[in-house]
Amino acid sequence: MQDQLLDQIPSLDLADFRSGDPERKARFVQQLGEAYQNIGFVALKNHGLNDEQTKQLYADVQAFFQLPDEAKQRYENPELAGQRGYISKGKEHAKGRNTGDLKEFFHVGQEVEEEDPIKNEYPANIWPEEVPTFKESTFRAYRTLESAGQDVLRAIALYLHLPENYFDDKVKHGNSILRPIHYFPIEDPEAVPADAVRAAEHGDINLITLLMGASADGLQVKRRDGKWIPITALPDQIVVNVGDMLQRLTNGVLKSTIHRVVNPPREKMNTSRFSIPFFMHPRSEMSLAALDHCVTPDNPKKEADITAGEFLNERLIELGLKKK
C-alpha cells in the first residue's frame, strides 16, 4: 500500500470484528491493517467501557493525584523500576533525552490467578488507601481494555496472514500495564527547564497501546513527511496504536509512529490534563524476531533477534526508570 499522508486517523468499530459477519470482519481487518501500515493509529469505538465506568475511573484517578505529594509518595517503590504503584514527577524521560516529562503517573499491572509460573515475574499491585474504589475501577478498565486489545491483535494476525489466534498464548497473562497519567499544572512556566514538555516525542515500547480519551487536547502524531497532526477521538472512542514490539516483529511492515503530548498555551499551563493508556505487552519469553514472511528482498531484516522481556529491560533503562 502506498503511504498516504492522512490529516486524521481512521475511525473503526470493534463491533464489526466481533459481529460474526464474515464481510464486516474482513473489512475491519483490512482497514485496520492499512491504517497500521500507514499512520500507525486508529480511533476505535465499541471497545467495552461504558460512560458510567469511565466517569468513575476518571473520578478515582483525579482523587488520587489530588492527594498531597507526600501521601502519593507512600505508594512509590523505587526498587520496582516503575512497574507498580506511583511514579513521581519528572522521573521518566523520552529515549535520547535527559529532561524529565512534566507528568506523574500510576501503574496497575497484571494479576495472575491461575497456576502459571509467570506470576513469579510480577510484583503485587499497590493500591492507595485514600481512594477505596481506585482498585475496582482501574482493574475493571484493565480487563476490559485487555479484552479489546486481544481482538485487535487477532485482527492484526489475520491481516498478516497468520492464524487468528497467533497472539493469544503470547499475551495470556502478559506484562501489560494500565497507566493513569496526570500532566500536572505549571504555575510558573519560568521555573521548569525550557525544553520540558508533557511527553516528549517517542514510540511506545509494547505491542499495541489502547488510550482512553484524555481530559484535554495535546496528543500529536508525526506523519511520514514530518508534519505533526493532532489526534482527536470522540468521547465514545479510544485511540489504538502500534508499539515498537509489533513494529519489530513485523520488520517495519506495521508502523510504530512517533507521537508526543505538547504543552498547552501559556495561559493554560496552570491546568491539569489526565490520560489513561493501556500498554499491551506479551509474556516476557515472546520472541520479537522478525516474522519470516515480513523479511523480503525489498524489506531486508532490520533488527537483531530479542525477546520481549529483554527489549523491555533495555527500554526501562533508556527511559530512566531502571538502573543498569
Q: What is the pLDDT of residues 70-125, one digit of tens each?
A: 999 999 998 888 899 999 987 766 666 666 778 899 999 999 988 999 999 999 99
Beta bridge partners of 108: 178
Q: Give CB contacts under 8 A, 24+ apart, made by 24-32.
A: 28/155, 29/155, 29/158, 29/159, 30/159, 32/152, 32/155, 32/156, 32/159
How far is 81 from 105, CA to CA, in rounded Å? 13
Three cell numbers at 201?
516525542
Question: Edge to edge, what strands does the sheet with 228-230 contain?
Answer: 199-202, 259-261, 219-222, 228-230
Please give the pLDDT value at position 224: 79
- Confidence band, pLDDT 50/70/90 cuts, at residue 2: very low
Closest-CA residue to 105 (of 277, 315, 318, 312): 277
- Confidence band, pLDDT 50/70/90 cuts, at residue 18: very high
Q: Which fold has domain 11-318?
A: Jelly Rolls (2.60.120)
Helix 134-159 to helix 51-65 angle, to the nearest 10 degrees?
A: 120
- Supply the DSSP symbol for 294: G
Q: Is the pLDDT of residue 4 over 60?
A: no
Q: Give all strands (DSSP E) within 255-324, no chain letters.
A: 259-261, 273-280
Please give the pLDDT value at position 169: 96
10 Å Cβ neighbour count for 108?
23
Q: How many residues does the chain have?
A: 324
Q: Give all strands (DSSP E) within the chain, no chain letters.
A: 11-13, 41-45, 85-87, 104-109, 177-178, 181-183, 199-202, 208-212, 219-222, 228-230, 237-242, 259-261, 273-280
Residue 65 and residue 73 in contact, taking contact as beta carbons nearer than 8 Å: no
Q: State CA 70 to chain mean position distance.
A: 28
Residue 66 and residue 274 in contact, taking contact as beta carbons nearer than 8 Å: no
Residue 176 and residue 183 in contact, taking contact as beta carbons nearer than 8 Å: no
Residues 134-190 pLDDT 10s: 999 999 999 999 999 999 999 999 999 999 999 999 999 999 999 999 988 887 777
Give the residue extent of every domain in the chain: 11-318
10 Å Cβ neighbour count for 270?
13
Mean pLDDT of the chain: 89
